[in-house]
C-alpha cells in the first residue's frame, strides 16, 4: 500500500496564536480558496441562511395570562335547619352538667260542701325534667409557610379554616337537635326522639302519590288531632309549623280538577294562612325507614298557665360558638373553639301531631 503524507499548510505556536487573536475576515477581504486552505478552512460553499433552535412567536408562560374572578366559591353542605324549626334558646353555661325544668301537675277534686265534712285539699305533683349537656370542640392550625403561600394565590388560610370550624360545630349541634345524643351518663333528646312526643299516625296514602282531596284530608286530620289534644283551645290565629322531608315540595303543585285548578298550596294559604312550611333532610326515613311529617303550634302558651317561655319546644344551647383559646407560635398559629347543647325540650307535647307519610 502506497504511503501518503499530509501537507502541512501552516504552523502557528500557541504563543503566536494568542498574540494574534482570532482570524477576522471582512466582506471586502481579497482572499482565495488557497488562502483559506492555509487557515484550515476547506469549504467551497456555505448555507444560504443560518437557522438556530426553533422558537415560538411571543413566548409567554400560560399562568401569566390568566384572570382571576373576584371572591372564592365555597362548597355547599347539607342544610342545617334545626334553628329554623325549633329556634335557639341560649341558657345555662358551658361548664354545666344539666339543664333542668320544673314541672307541676295539679292534683285536686272538688267535693260537695258539708258543714261537718272534711275540707278536700288540693295539691300538686312535682317532677323535674333534666337534659345533659354535650360539648364539642374544633380547632385549626396555620403554618407560616402555608399562610404565605395561600395568600399568594388569594386565600386567607386562617379565615377559611375558621369558617370550617364554625360550620363543623353547627353541624354537630344540628345533629343533636334532631337525633339527640346517646350516652350512658346523659339523656339528650332530639326533635325526632323526645319521649314526650305523641305517637306517629300512619297516612292513609303516601303523600307523594296523593291526590288533591287526599292531601286536604291528611292535613285536616292532623289539624283536628291538634284541636282534640288541646281540648278545643286551638285558635284560628295560632301560628303553625308544617315540617316535611326534603323532596316533598312537589305536593304543593297538586291541583284539584273540581276546584278550577286550585293547587294544594293555594288551598293551604287560603285555609291556614298562619302555617309556615319547613323541609329538612332528617325527616326522610326517620321512623323505621318511613318519611315523617310534623304539624305543631309554635307558641302554645295561651293554653296553659305556665310562667315559662311560650314556645312549644326549645333548643337549649348554652354556647353556640366560643373561642376556647389561641396561641401564636414561632412557626404558626393555633386556635380552638367549642360549643355546648342540651338538645330539645318538648315543653308542650299536646301541641304536636306526627304522621308517617310514605309507603312501607
- The Cβ-side half-sphere exposure at 35, using a 13 Å CA radius, reads 6
Closest CA to 287 of 175, 171, 204, 178: 178
Pair 349, 336: CB distance under 8 Å: no
Please name the fold of domain 82-111+125-356: phage-related protein like fold (3.90.1690)
Torsion of CA 232, 234, 236, 239, to 10 degrees: -170
Q: Which three cell numbers stand for residue 104?
A: 307541676
* pLDDT for residue 5: 56
Angle at 138 between CA 133 and CA 144, to 5 degrees: 160
Q: Per-domain residue ranges for the chain?
A: 82-111+125-356
What's the distance, CA 22 to chain centroid?
77
C-alpha span between 351 and 240 (Å, rounded):
10
| C-alpha grid cell, residue 134 | 354535650
Is the torsion defined by CA of 28, 32, 37, 39 positive or negative?
negative
Q: pLDDT tens digits for 199-238?
A: 999 999 999 999 999 999 999 999 999 999 998 888 888 9
**Alpha carbon distance 198, 294 (integer Å):** 11
- Cell triple for 176: 343533636
What's residue 4's pLDDT? 55
3-state secondary structure of 6: coil
d(CA 157, CA 146): 8
pTM of the model as a whole? 0.78
At 302 the pLDDT is: 73
How are beta strands 201-202 and 352-356 bridged, if at all? parallel
Q: Which residue has the cell 258539708?
A: 114
Cell of residue 170, nine digits: 353547627
Pairing mode, strands 186-188 and 344-346: unpaired
Distance CA(114)–CA(303), nearest Å, equals 33
**Sign of the C-alpha dihedral computed for residues 75, 76, 78 and 84 taken in this order:** positive
Q: How far apart are the C-alpha atoms of 50 and 123, rounded to whole Å?
A: 114
8 A C-beta contact, residue 99 and residue 130:
yes
- The Cα angle at residue 190 between residues 88 and 313, in degrees rounded to 5: 45
Based on C-alpha coordinates, what's the Rg of the chain?
Answer: 42
Q: What is the pLDDT of residues 102-152, one digit of tens each?
A: 999 999 999 999 999 999 999 999 999 999 999 999 999 999 999 999 999
DSSP label at residue 279: E
- Position 260 scores a pLDDT of 76
**List of the chain residues with pLDDT < 50:** none
The backbone region for 54, taken as left when phi is positive above 0, alpha when psi lies in -120 to 50, beta otherwise, is beta
Amino acid at each position: 500500500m502506497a504511503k501518503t503524507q499530509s501537507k502541512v499548510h501552516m504552523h502557528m505556536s500557541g504563543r503566536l496564536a494568542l498574540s494574534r487573536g482570532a482570524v477576522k475576515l471582512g466582506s471586502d477581504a481579497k482572499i482565495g480558496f488557497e488562502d483559506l486552505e492555509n487557515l484550515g478552512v476547506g469549504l467551497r460553499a456555505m448555507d444560504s441562511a443560518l437557522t438556530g433552535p426553533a422558537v415560538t412567536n411571543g413566548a409567554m408562560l400560560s399562568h401569566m395570562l390568566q384572570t382571576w374572578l373576584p371572591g372564592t366559591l365555597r362548597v355547599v353542605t347539607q342544610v342545617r335547619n334545626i334553628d329554623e324549626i325549633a329556634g335557639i334558646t341560649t341558657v345555662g353555661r358551658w361548664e354545666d352538667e344539666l339543664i333542668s325544668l320544673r314541672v307541676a301537675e295539679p292534683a285536686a277534686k272538688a267535693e260537695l260542701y258539708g258543714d261537718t265534712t272534711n275540707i278536700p285539699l288540693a295539691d300538686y305533683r312535682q317532677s323535674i325534667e333534666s337534659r345533659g349537656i354535650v360539648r364539642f370542640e374544633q380547632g385549626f392550625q396555620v403554618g407560616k409557610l402555608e399562610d404565605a403561600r395561600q395568600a399568594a394565590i388569594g386565600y386567607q388560610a386562617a379565615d377559611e379554616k375558621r369558617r370550617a370550624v364554625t360550620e363543623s360545630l353547627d353541624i354537630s349541634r344540628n345533629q343533636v337537635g334532631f337525633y339527640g345524643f346517646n350516652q350512658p351518663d346523659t339523656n339528650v333528646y332530639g326533635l325526632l326522639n323526645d319521649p314526650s312526643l305523641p305517637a306517629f299516625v300512619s297516612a292513609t296514602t303516601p303523600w307523594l302519590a296523593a291526590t288533591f282531596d287526599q292531601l286536604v284530608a291528611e292535613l285536616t286530620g292532623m289539624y283536628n288531632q291538634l284541636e282534640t289534644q288541646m281540648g278545643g283551645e286551638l285558635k284560628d290565629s295560632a301560628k303553625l309549623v308544617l315540617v316535611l322531608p326534603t323532596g316533598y315540595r312537589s305536593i304543593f303543585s297538586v291541583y284539584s280538577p273540581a276546584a278550577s285548578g286550585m293547587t294544594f298550596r293555594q288551598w293551604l294559604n287560603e285555609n291556614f294562612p298562619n302555617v309556615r312550611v319547613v323541609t329538612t333532610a332528617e325527616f326522610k326515613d326517620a321512623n323505621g325507614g318511613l318519611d315523617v311529617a310534623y304539624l305543631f303550634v309554635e307558641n302554645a302558651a295561651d293554653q296553659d298557665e305556665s310562667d315559662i317561655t311560650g314556645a312549644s319546644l326549645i333548643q337549649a344551647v348554652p354556647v353556640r360558638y366560643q373561642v376556647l383559646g389561641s396561641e401564636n407560635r414561632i412557626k404558626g398559629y393555633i386556635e380552638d373553639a367549642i360549643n355546648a347543647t342540651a338538645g330539645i325540650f318538648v315543653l308542650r307535647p299536646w301541641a304536636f301531631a306526627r304522621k308517617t307519610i310514605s309507603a312501607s
